[in-house]
Structure 1
């Protein structure tokens, strides 16, 4: 056990370089050589949990560099594609070197799981989070949006801030007579999967129209950018805009976040308690640990929540590589959870932790 913990701390220490460059998704041999590590483990995928991984590295980043983790924040869709290929086929991430794990906020489909082959795949949820709607309306500190308003904004049906569906829930606000600019994801995104799953569950017409997916066709009025941080930055500099992003990205930039109506008809702010209530309404956890809660039913539940998963191989070619990955993931599932909660992520329920640990411990 002591050796596993040593590997974990070494891995986390060397991760500092990787996360600072996660936005660009790059990596090269020179930067890896600079770590002095005997073992380099590479992964790529979701930007949703990136701030949490950065914090973990900050806390445990002063240990030996014998093992280095490198992670490229390239979005959930590309993370799945790279995991299936074992590398970035285009050669843009890590110079085309092999990767050891992926990450996605949308898990993997049955069809994708069949493509993994004899190495097998294990999907492990690491934390949960809230997708918030952050906006840029000078002078408006508290915006309240109904379900109909959310759907109208992102379908392009609501075009101005004075639309009656927005004004109805904000009677005391002097809303500007200004066009709304929805800011959305261009890249293949698990965050997009979470919000479109919510909209499709709440509005059957959305399922038949824009649909559910990591990438969809947005209305012409939308401004498309890459990554969670890209959406947050664009909202920050674009007056009249509103965009969806993981809670931590809005919090970091000090963006105001809308209070949203949930399935029970209540208006709920994005708080840790509301997020936990949302994920806590999930059904029984299946054996593959894929749990989705597109429209939580509880009166106290924040309405747009989801898990984020690591995509691991069931079998690795080297014992040291498997041990380093297993040790790091087990740490995240246990000692890393309080840090997640402090940052505004939703810590995993105890039963999910138990089931996830069993999956990780069985990796070879």
Structure 2
């Protein structure tokens, strides 16, 4: 069955962690109006990957299938690492990933791509990563990068530690152990989180940036929904999570430069807009080198850019047409707006959207 128009709450969508095929009837509230151009496309498109993209993929699949009733889009939010592995093996037609393909992955043979063709990274989703917490009576928690690094590396173990108290003099911090919640699966969110800490608190965060959480501390849970549920169910807990999954949790302010900044999609988008395309990639690979040390007013450098990973050239030309049609729709103004309304993401800046559109056109 084809997913048509769904508006289920994000928490339910995340907890279900389902493939995005659903009922053909219009159930629940509809996503924001979209305007994908009707086409003669037909077939099934299978994607696996980022759980952070999950809610946005629900909206995108609905809008695309509405305009292309002969197409079924399936998306399984298993996590970024699983998505890239599935794409490389040919088990998925595209991956959703919160981290660009690594050098060792680019050296792989991509089973669904034409011989000698590789995957390319197409940015489609920008979202702030929240430092979310569950501590009774504590609102507007303020944290700098060094303190976050100390908490998540296990060096700061109680909520009334002086490093936390010094930044939150008016807060009633409990004398209680901190329960750290982190991702158990290889995760692009973890990659972006650890990149931020490695860039801003290298003297405390001694591990390199990684898609695997590097320290033996706290509790591990799978996917965006998993860490959200674990944090909600554990008092005095804290996690890092895509903003789309943070409903029901308190969100800390982040020290950026000399000021504490509240999380915002606009602040995340501003950092991405000012960041360059990474060096050393293929012409149509648009991996972004995020400026993790951005300090302009309102900036939120703890941000993830999530990609659609697709073949530059597919073995199956019909599959290439489906991927091109779908990604071209995803980066449209209407689709980006619909995702922002449903998932709290930031629409692509027009110049970045234009670059992605050109890259999509090059897919064969």
Do both proteins adopt the same fold according to a TM-score greater than 0.5, normalized to the shorter chain? yes
Report if aligned partners of 1:278, 1:302 keep a CA contact under 8 Å in 2.
Answer: yes
Residue 299 of structure 2: which of 298, 301, 313 is its match? 301
How big is the shift at 1:279?
1.9
Residues 132, 247 of structure 1: 8 Å contact kept: yes
Is 1:248 equivalent to 2:244 in the alignment? yes
User: Would the alpha carbon gap of residues 112 and 298 (structure 1) be closer, same or farther in structure 2, given more than 3 Å must change?
Assistant: same
Note if 1:54 corresponds to 2:58.
yes
Name the CA shift for 1:102/1:14 in 2 (closer, same or farther; >3 Å): farther
What's the CA shift for 1:115? 1.1
Q: Which residue of 2 aligns with 1:354?
A: 354
Deviation of 1:320 after TM superposition, in Å, equals 2.9
Q: For 2:357, what is the secondary structure of its paired residue?
A: helix
Find the counterpart in structure 2 of residue 239 from structure 1: 235
Shift of 1:167: 0.7
What is the aligned-residue RMSD (CA, Å)?
2.9
Distance 1:32 1:147 in 2: 40
Q: Could you tell me how far 1:62 is from its partner in structure 2?
A: 4.7
Would the aligned equivalents of 1:15 and 1:57 in 2 still touch at CA under 8 Å? no
Q: Which residue in 1 is equivalent to 2:44?
A: 40
Residues 1-364 of structure 1 mapped to structure 2, 5 A cutoff: 13=4, 39-58=43-62, 62=66, 65-87=69-91, 99-117=92-110, 118=115, 119-205=117-203, 209-220=206-217, 222-251=218-247, 254-262=248-256, 264-283=257-276, 287=283, 288-293=285-290, 294-334=292-332, 335-342=334-341, 343-364=343-364
Q: Secondary structure at the match of 1:194?
A: helix
Task: Decide whether the 8 Å contact of 1:200 with 1:211 is kept in 2.
Answer: yes
- Farther-moved stretch of structure 1 (63-72 vs 268-277): 63-72
* Cα pair distance change 1:339/1:319, threshold 3 Å: same
Quick check: 1:12–1:57 contact (8 Å CA) kept in 2? yes
In 1: Cα distance, 2:326 partner to 2:15 partner: 22
Taking a change above 3 Å as real, the CA distance of residues 14 and 250 of structure 1, as seen in their structure-2 partners, is closer
TM-score normalised by structure 2 residue count: 0.83
Structure 1 unmatched runs, 5+: 1-9, 88-98
* CA distance in structure 2 between the aligned counterparts of 1:237 and 1:339, rounded to whole angstroms: 30
Q: 1:59 to 1:138 in 2, by over 3 A?
A: farther
Gapped regions of structure 2 (runs ≥ 5): 25-40
Tell me the distance in 2 between the aligned counterparts of 1:353 and 1:163.
Answer: 44
Larger % of helix: which?
Answer: 1
Per-residue CA deviations over 1:243-288 (Å, capped at 9, x if unaligned) read: 000001003xx211000112x1221111123222222331356542
Q: How many pairs does the alignment contain?
A: 334
Paired residue secondary structure (2:209): coil
Q: Per the alignment, in what secondary structure is the counterpart of residue 115 of structure 1?
A: coil
Contact 1:147 1:261 in 2 (8 A): yes
